[in-house]
Chains A and B, each alone.
Chain A
Amino acid sequence: MNKSTLGEFEEIVLLIVAILSGDAYSVTIISEIEERLDRNVSLGAVQTVLKRLEKKGLLTSDLGDATNERGGKRKRLYEITAEGQELLDLNKAQRNSLWNAIPKLSFNF
């Protein structure tokens, strides 16, 4: 998978980071995915994808505050970059064009 294509789970994580805008870290991303998509994902899967997306330049990150709930450890907050936003817009446009291209007869049974 190169920089200009997104896997299905990569796209989901990128969208969730955009939705959470400013409060996106592993735990909140997993909660959002479970709530919105009714889908269980592991911390390892999300961490791997976040690091991959950051390496591709689609996300940036910074260390946030530590809390007692986190045992005094800081969280790493992610934000979508302009490049990431562009790629999401492109993906959305491509999917819409495919949906619109389906002949009307296809759904008549």
Chain B
Amino acid sequence: MNPKEHKPLRIALAFFNWYCHPDFREEIEGDLMERFNRYCLKYGYAKANRLFVKDVLFLFRPAIIGNIYHLTHTDTMELTHQNKRLITILAIALSILLIPFIAMGFTNEVNWSVFDFLLIGVLLFGAGLVLELILRKVKTLRYRIILGIALFAVLLLVWVELAVGIFGTPLAGS
């Protein structure tokens, strides 16, 4: 018997261990493993792994994540305050990107292609990096707020233009 066959996909388990709040981690990981082992007996290893990944993705929700401090806290390295902030901003961008991904599992109304995810991913991560740049370079609170609002407005306008072509620009294919 191949001992590897009874272990779920490591990257999925690592992702779960990263986002799950430490208070719930043991019991929910146990539930995931129990379901994985039952799937293995019922459907075989390949399908069990797919269902395991699905379980992990569908667990990615606010009640399970809890507060996000633990997402930026690592034991292996000392992170500067600025790097922690950058990681938090990028994690929020990733969370926003996961919303339509998870919604696609529940309804046919949301139907994004790979290109859509790539495009919005670039938009969100780009905006996140610009926000971090503003926070590092601009020291005055007033200008930080003004630039932050301007960045958010630009992000929203570009997203709306891409989605529904409200202004009829070439971005929307006009």
Contacts and interface: CB of A to CB of B under 8 A. Distances in A.
Interface string B28-49: 1111111101100000000000
Contacts, number: 67
Contacts of B24: 47, 51
Interface in B8-26: 24, 26
Nearest to A42: B58
A73 B63 contact: no
A44 B64 contact: yes
Place the interface of chain A in its size category: 20 to 34
Given A44-B60, A44-B61, A71 B33 contact: yes
A74 B23 CA distance: 13
A48 B64 contact: yes
A73 B55 contact: no
B90 interface: no
Contacts of A42: 54-55, 58-59
B78 interface: no
Nearest to B29: A73
B27 interface: yes
Given A42-B58, A70-B30, A75-B30, 14 more contacts: A26-B28, A27-B34, A27-B35, A42-B59, A43-B28, A43-B59, A44-B59, A47-B31, A47-B64, A51-B63, A66-B30, A69-B34, A74-B30, A75-B27
**Minimum-distance CB pairs A-B, first 8:** A73-B30, A70-B30, A71-B33, A76-B27, A44-B59, A44-B58, A42-B58, A48-B63
Interface of A: 25-27, 42-45, 47-48, 51-52, 63, 66-67, 69-71, 73-76
